[in-house]
Amino acid sequence: MVIDIQQVLAPGGLIAKSFPSFEFRPQQVQMAGAVQRALLDSRRLVVEAGTGVGKSFAYLIPAIEMIATGTQKVLISTFTITLQEQLINKDIPFLEDALPKTFTAVLAKGRGNYLCQRRLEFAMRRQKGLFDESSDQLIMINDWASRTKDGSLSDISFLPKNRIWDAVKSEHGNCRRRKCPHFHKCFYWRARRQLDTADIIVANHALMFSDLVLKEQGAAVLPDYRFVIVDEAHNIEHVAEEHFGINISNRRIKYLLDGLYNPRTHKGLLVYKHAEKAIDMVAKTAGGANAFFKRVRQWYEDSKDETNGRCYCNFVDDNVSPHLKNLCLELAKLAKGPGDIDEKFEIMRFVDRCGALTQDLQCFLTQDRKDYVYWVEKQTGT
């Protein structure tokens, strides 16, 4: 039986009976009807509605109806955390009580929001070689891990430094799955199982696009879904640009190399391996990167008035990729040697990151993706 939108949202309807101060809005009824028809006909719909229309109810009610008819999952994508929390904590629970329909809804978080207990144990074993004074935060995370039920960043009372959380978060390529001793109580996989059984998945635009990128590579963050409702769609262009584009910076390269070995603090993953050859390659890669970005800056200063930063194919020499490739090979050798299995996973994580950076560099310089636009930006003070 198809829900009669007029009856649900009308004065004295199901919503009004559960919410006495509910205000009838013709625009809301019009939007809900349009959404319902679009879902039933499997076609695209774009709606522009001002504040006060009641957009969330206007798309949630038809979505719930589609779920009740036995169709597949509905993904609702938002831009802000505020709207996600409104949907999950307020609007959807209200409709669960008000409508004669049974459904489940779950808030989806990116994998990197969840703690990996195996990686945390490894970081605790090697914290002196991995981190500087910020290792106090690692001890705090370890204490929190024994108490948290959610295991995600939103449950921590403080915001960990990027380097600390980066060492303990759950990652696709750094997961032993069922071979991991923590698999059955893993925070990420428990959340993933909830997503698999949910009817409505609420996510942000960044997670939706991350999932689309991974699906192109044969992986996924989200389970399969049939319908997509994009709220706050005016922000979607910039999020898509971030996920489908290539972004290369000296900060990205330095962050990667410092994780292996930081010459200033003498900390990093390679410290415990006593891998002098790999450490030397890290230094050579850093030197190549410095020379590369010096040439990029010079090119930009010389041509910015003419090009506005729009660069041409191979506009500078690649001083980085050869060093990165050598570093990749050396790290792969270290990972194949004897040693801690968790350490090998961490090393291979850097092999993957070096490989991805090499691929991005070569793609940017050769400009082999013809439907892309390539340009250089210079930050103030650099």
**Residue 203: pLDDT over 90:** yes
Give the residue-averaged pLDDT of 333-348: 92
Per-residue pLDDT of 131-157, as tens digits, reads: 876 689 999 999 999 999 999 999 999
Report residue 236's pLDDT band, with 50, 70 and 90 as the boundaries: very high
**Residue 194: pLDDT over 70:** yes
Query: How much of the chain exceeds pLDDT 90, in percent?
Result: 79
Q: Which residue has the higher pLDDT, 269 or 339?
A: 269
Report residue 340's pLDDT band, with 50, 70 and 90 as the boundaries: confident
Per-residue pLDDT of 249-287, as tens digits, reads: 999 999 999 999 999 999 999 998 889 999 999 999 999
230 phi and psi angles, rounded to 5 deg: -105, 110
Per-residue pLDDT of 50-105, as tens digits, reads: 888 999 999 999 999 999 877 679 999 999 999 999 999 999 999 999 998 899 99
Give the residue-averaged pLDDT of 39-55: 92
Give the residue-averaged pLDDT of 339-362: 95
Distance CA 184, CA 86 (A): 31
Cα dist. 21→50, 57, 131, 177, 373 in Å?
20, 15, 55, 50, 52
Residue ranges of domains in the chain: 5-104+198-241, 111-179, 245-366
Per-residue pLDDT of 211-230, as tens digits, reads: 998 888 888 889 999 999 99
Among the listed residues 215, 203, 205, 201, the one whose alpha carbon sits nearest the alpha carbon of residue 172 = 215
The CATH code of domain 5-104+198-241 reads: 3.40.50.300
The pLDDT, as a whole number, for residue 274 is 81
Per-residue pLDDT of 6-20, as tens digits, reads: 889 989 899 999 988
Cα dist. 269→178, 325, 336, 337 in Å?
25, 18, 16, 15
**Residue 1: pLDDT over 70:** no
Give the residue-averaged pLDDT of 358-365: 96
Structure tokens at 324: 């990165």
Spacing of C-alpha 306 from chain mean position: 36
**Residue 4: pLDDT over 90:** no
Per-residue HEC secondary structure of the chain comes to CCCCHHHHHCCCCHHHHHCCCCCCCHHHHHHHHHHHHHHHHCCCCCCCCCCCCCHHHHHHHHHHHHHHCCCCCEEEEECCHHHHHHHHHHHHHHHHHHCCCCCCEEECCCHHHEECHHHHHHHHHCHHHHCCCCHHHHHHHHHHHCCCCCCEHHHCCCCCCHHHHHHHECCHHHCCHHHCCCHHHCHHHHHHHHHHHCCEEEEEHHHHHHHHHHHHCCCCCCCCCCEEEECCHHHHHHHHHHHHCCCCCHHHHHHHHHHHCECCCCECHHHCCCCHHHHHHHHHHHHHHHHHHHHHHHHHHHHHHHHCCECCCCCCCCCCHHHHHHHHHHHHHHHHCCCCHHHHHHHHHHHHHHHHHHHHHHHHHHCCCCCCCCECCCCCCC
Q: Structure pTM?
A: 0.89
